[in-house]
Structure 1
């Protein structure tokens, strides 16, 4: 193990707090591991939400060793495929931490267990599955509703905001544009606009005057 400078020790101590905070936020699905790259034989300095079965004091991974050997290795490697020893699929992100001399001294790694989410995804896919062979065809959305919503979304995007965050003056301009385009003539148009903007129908009528 290399003798650590005061700066390096302080960085590692702060990273311990960062690792703990991230782990608490994303528990229990995300394992967070802090690696001390100045002590590769016992690199695992802290591990939270332990999903991989590793322990504090375990050696550095291949990526950790690569960073030790080459400071030019990419500092942030995000969302790469990985797996736990039992075969569960993992999405991993590794953030290399350098000291003031540009040397890698640590790595903060997050490993998300995808098996849980894949299970959720399977249930959701089954839940939202629509039988296209069903004999009846109906819709609860009035004709043209999508066109109104799309026009509102486009207007909000031009202002780098969302429909519900539009200011009153912007909403007034928007409603006038919808009126000029003939979209307010569609069935239940005022109700659709009001719902998408998060305002009352009376407000929309007022903007249209």
Structure 2
């Protein structure tokens, strides 16, 4: 590779390493060198993989050396690799070509994500909520709480109020009663208006829901 090309890669590698810290190795392989066993021309944070200037090629570099004119060689971005001591790296390999399309070098980034993968595992376990799919809302007032309970009763029945029959409304009222909705001041009036029933019918439905629950418990 031309000296100016290598100098540019060196500055770029230094910038990337400085941006992402000591866990980010950046290495440039010079595939035009006379010594095929010594391709590493630029390296930052070599402690990630234990490599240094003048070391030999990686498997990808070796394949590119085998046929540098192979235009089918494609960059590989954000793939997983592993070091000899078992650390996981997020790697990207970019082929550097000359004006004729021949591969003259490889620019590689290897970011150590071992600790991040461990942290992700711990965070997944921490935020796991079992089989719950929908987050339960936290209302800011009893009015919002009553509105949410009414919406839950409708979801429980599975149809809008306009399509509910008596049995559906009894089921919805029973849910509201069990949830303690009628402990909220003036909740009965709001529920009656929402379901289009009288206060007398509301109490009747509450009693019927209790009877059904008792019968189900005995059966």
- TM-score, scaled to structure 1: 0.57
1:53 aligned residue: 50
Tell whether the 8 Å contact from 1:66 to 1:73 is kept in structure 2 after alignment. Answer: no
Q: Indicate how the Cα distance of structure 1 residues 13 and 139 shifts in structure 2: closer, same or farther if over 3 A, else same.
A: same
Shift of residue 32, structure 1, vs aligned partner: 0.9
Deviations 1:80-136 (A, max 9, x none): 221111121222110010111222111110112221111210221233123669xxx
1:101 aligned residue: 100
Tell whether the 8 Å contact from 2:29 to 2:106 is kept in structure 1 after alignment. Answer: yes
Alignment RMSD? 2.4
Matches of 2:98 and 2:28, distance apart in 1: 15
Give runs of ≥4 in structure 1 deviating > 4 Å.
141-144
Q: Indicate how the Cα distance of structure 1 residues 74 and 138 shifts in structure 2: closer, same or farther if over 3 A, else same.
A: same
1:44 aligned residue: 40
Q: 1:139 aligns with which of 137, 140, 147?
A: 137
Secondary structure of the 1:122 match is helix
2:127 aligned residue: 128
Matches of 1:101 and 1:42, distance apart in 2: 24
Alignment of 1:7-156 (within 5 A): 8-39=2-33, 40-50=36-46, 51-70=48-67, 71=69, 72-130=71-129, 138-140=136-138
Secondary structure of the 1:95 match is strand
- The number of aligned residues is 135
Matches of 2:136 and 2:115, distance apart in 1: 35
Tell whether the 8 Å contact from 1:81 to 1:92 is kept in structure 2 after alignment. Answer: yes
Question: Tell me, which stretches of 5 or more residues in structure 1 are unaligned?
Answer: 145-209
Question: Tell me, which stretches of 5 or more residues in structure 2 are unaligned?
Answer: 152-219
Matches of 1:76 and 1:55, distance apart in 2: 23
